[in-house]
Amino acid sequence: MRNRSFYAQTDFPRADVALSDSLCDFTRSAVKKLFDGGLVKVNGKIAKPSQSVCTGDFIEAALPDPVECVAKPEDIPVDILYEDGDLAVINKPQGLTVHAGNGNIDGTLVNALLYRLNNLSGVGGVIRPGIVHRIDKNTSGLLVVAKNDAAHLSLAEQIADKSCRRTYIALLEGNLKEDNGTVTTYIGRSRTDRIKMAVVEPDKGKIAITDYSVLSRAVFAGQSYTLCRFDLHTGRTHQIRVHAKYLNHPVVGDDVYGRKKREFGLNGQLLHAYRLEFTHPNSGERLTFTAPLPGYFSAVLKKLGFGFNLF
């Protein structure tokens, strides 16, 4: 066991919410297990998850020692658009998790890459070899993976200094009236639901900047929809989905930040990493890749009557 202790910086309605706010790497179920095992104390007394916490309360938690997990190769189909000795560009399908997490160590893109590629960088550790950046499980599209550490560091630096350009296409609920704009907020873990991210105060999160521009609009069965392009300046978890909600136009099919009932028989949000541009770490050549919208995405646009040809 290892101990984690801290003083509450603000009031919390529940002790489990206070602990989740501090233990960002713990799931709700993991936090619940800590309370169930009597491993959490508030001001020296074993705490109940439902009790309130006041500013200045001393919270202690006895955490289980981490268990090292090594990703293993799996024969999972993966669409490799480009590959050389330094990197590979992948068109990830909706429904495929990028790397292990939350107890899920199998069936990920990393498992597929370990099977398909000869080498992957070690900067990300044994769980995330080669992974320079990620996209959500139910988001489709492009990401670049590194095959050696030098390439990994170069690509990561390009993402940090914004010279790596990432463009997404999304279908939004409602009519987004502004044709274009920039959303600048701070994004952090939601205080009420650890699965979610949220727009928070500056001291509670990290800055997130997203450009958007409307591609087309449509009305179907009395409902308005907006096809939108998003360009990332930063890469926060769920950034586009959170910013779409912040604009009051969540991504269609997003049952975390949008409607709980998915439309059009979708299995996830209509959000696609469409374009990726970066400088090759070795040759210095500027590379640009695009990935067409998945069939289910195009089918919805056709149903809605969008007369827009993305290509």
Query: What is the set of active-site residues?
Result: 136
Rounded CA gap, 147 and 130, in Å?
6
Pairing of strands 206-220, 140-146: unpaired
How many other C-beta atoms can be found within 10 angstroms of the C-beta atom of residue 2? 9
Rounded Cα distance between 153 and 172, Å, is 34
Residue type, 251: V
Q: What is the dihedral of CA 94, 95, 99, 105, to 10 degrees?
A: -160
Under 8 Å between Cβ of 86 and 121: no
Give, in degrees to the nearest 5, the angle at Cα 161 between 276 and 135: 40
Which H/E stretch holds residue 147?
none
Alpha-carbon distance values, 3 to 17, 32, 43, 157 (Å)? 18, 16, 15, 34
Pair of tokens at residue 227: 């096809």
One-character DSSP codes across 185-198: EEEEE-SS-TT-EE
CB atoms within 10 A of CB 188: 22
Q: Give the start-end residues of each E strand in 97-164.
A: 140-146
* CA-based radius of gyration for the chain: 21
Residue with tokens 């499980």: 137
Contact 129, 148 (CB under 8 A): no
